[in-house]
Amino acid sequence: MASSSSSYTNSPCAACKFLRRKCMPDCIFAPYFPPEEPQKFANVHKIFGASNVSKLLNEVLPHQREDAVNSLAYEAEARMKDPVYGCVGAISVLQRQVIRLQKELDATNADLIRYAASSCNNLEIPIASQSGRTRTNSNMGHGGGSLGQNPGLYFSSPWNRSDSYGGDRNERGGG
């Protein structure tokens, strides 16, 4: 990066400053650990160790090094917050959330199929026949806000699986 090259000729990069050594012009850390972000290197060094990071950067192609450093920094920060699970803690929370939302969406799609079928058979407006039931509306209250983020991901498969939702429908409110 041309913009940062001028700054680290004056002051050592975050890695060399942390390790109290002279930052040479060919320092492998300098492009990715600017002196303005001391915590980034401190985290990565504590979790992975500077020599391992240096070894890893040398094994990776130059154009992939920035991504590699960002990935190490993300993992290191997650592991500082959660020494046991690190990134996996966040991933498993999100996976459980995806599974829960998928079930919710499947049940709603099954409802939609039933509404469509009943309006075809009876030739009446479904809303009128369901006026006493607020099940569908109350379902929007929990977690509904994130459903819109990936609509394309979830809408294809549930239509083929509508036969398995007879028992699920009443459990949705519990979340």
Q: Least distance from C-beta 67 to Zn ion, angstroms?
A: 19
Smaller CB distance to Zn ion: residue 5 or 157?
A: 5
Residue 27 interacts with Zn ion (CB under 5 A)? yes
Residue type, 117: A
Closest CB to Zn ion among 29 and 165?
29
Residue partners of 36: CB distance under 8 A and separation at least 6: 7, 14
DSSP code at position 156: S
Among 21-29, 63-71, 80-88, 153-161, which window interacts with Zn ion (CB under 5 A)? 21-29
50 contacts Zn ion (rule: CB under 5 A): no
3-state SS class at 73:
helix
Judged by CB, which is closer to Zn ion: 55, or 81? 55
Taking 3-state DSSP, the helix, strand and coil percentages for the chain, each rounded to the nearest 5, stand at: 70, 0, 30
Query: CA nearest 75: which of 44, 42, 38, 32?
Result: 44
Which of residues 48 and 115 has its CB atom nearest to Zn ion in the complex? Answer: 48
Size of the site for Zn ion (CB under 5 A): 6
Instruction: Pick the piece of the chain touching Zn ion (CB under 5 A) from 6-14, 68-76, 77-85, 136-144.
Output: 6-14
Region for 86 from its dihedrals, namely left if φ exceeds 0, alpha if ψ lies in -120 to 50, beta otherwise = left
Q: If binding is defined by CB under 5 A, does position 23 make contact with Zn ion?
A: yes
Residue 175 carries which side chain, given as an amino acid letter?
G
CA distance 112 to 126: 10
Q: How far is the CB of 14 from Zn ion (least distance, A)?
A: 8
**Chain positions contacting Zn ion, by CB under 5 A:** 13, 16, 23, 27, 29-30
